[in-house]
Amino acid sequence: MLPFEFTIQGPPVSNQTRNRARLQQWKQEVGLAAQARIPAGIGPVPDPVQITITYYYEGDSPDVDNIIKPIQDALNGLVFVDDAQVAETKSRKRPLDGSYQIKGASGVLLQGFAAGVGFLHVRIESNTHNGVLDS
């Protein structure tokens, strides 16, 4: 199943929001967006993974570190068994109206841009430990 990717229209909800009902709703929306892309009969992966979250935004945007946890929580039991399997996380934001050179863009990412509104692109891959620590 990996790599696995999906998009969801933003804005994301921060894990620090005081509106807990909206946070739960956001997690459900993320789960449904992921579930729509999971092939039939495929279950969550049991191995370590890495996740990359990119928020293409318009206007204001939340801190990139505050959007990670709700997304990982929403993917529990769908993409991976438990978010404790996430060995590496990358979270970033880019203005939607920015100028980008995109090499090797997936169809999923291109569909996100085609919608013309702020969105998140989430990609989950196997995390292969090669014995090298980044500096």
Question: What does pTM read for this prediction?
Answer: 0.93
Decide if 99 is inside a domain: yes
Q: Is residue 10 part of a domain?
A: yes
In a domain, 132, yes or no: no
The pLDDT, as a whole number, for residue 78 is: 96
Residue 19 placed within a domain: yes
Q: Number of structural domains, the chain?
A: 1
pLDDT recorded at residue 135 = 57
Question: Is residue 75 domain-resident?
Answer: yes
CB 68 within 8 A of CB 53: yes
For residue 133, tell me if it sits in a domain.
no
Is 131 contained in some domain?
Answer: no
Output the pLDDT for position 99. Answer: 85
Contact call for residues 62 and 34 (beta carbons, < 8 A): no
- Please give the pLDDT value at position 6: 98
The CATH number given to whatever domain includes residue 120 is: 3.30.1330.70
Domain that holds residue 116: 4-126
Which residues make beta-bridge pairs with 71? none
**Structure tokens given for 135:** 């500096």
According to the model, what pLDDT value does residue 128 have? 79
* pLDDT tens over the chain, length 135 residues: 899 999 999 899 999 999 999 999 999 999 999 999 999 999 999 999 999 999 999 988 888 999 999 999 999 999 999 999 999 999 999 999 888 888 889 999 999 999 999 999 999 999 977 677 765
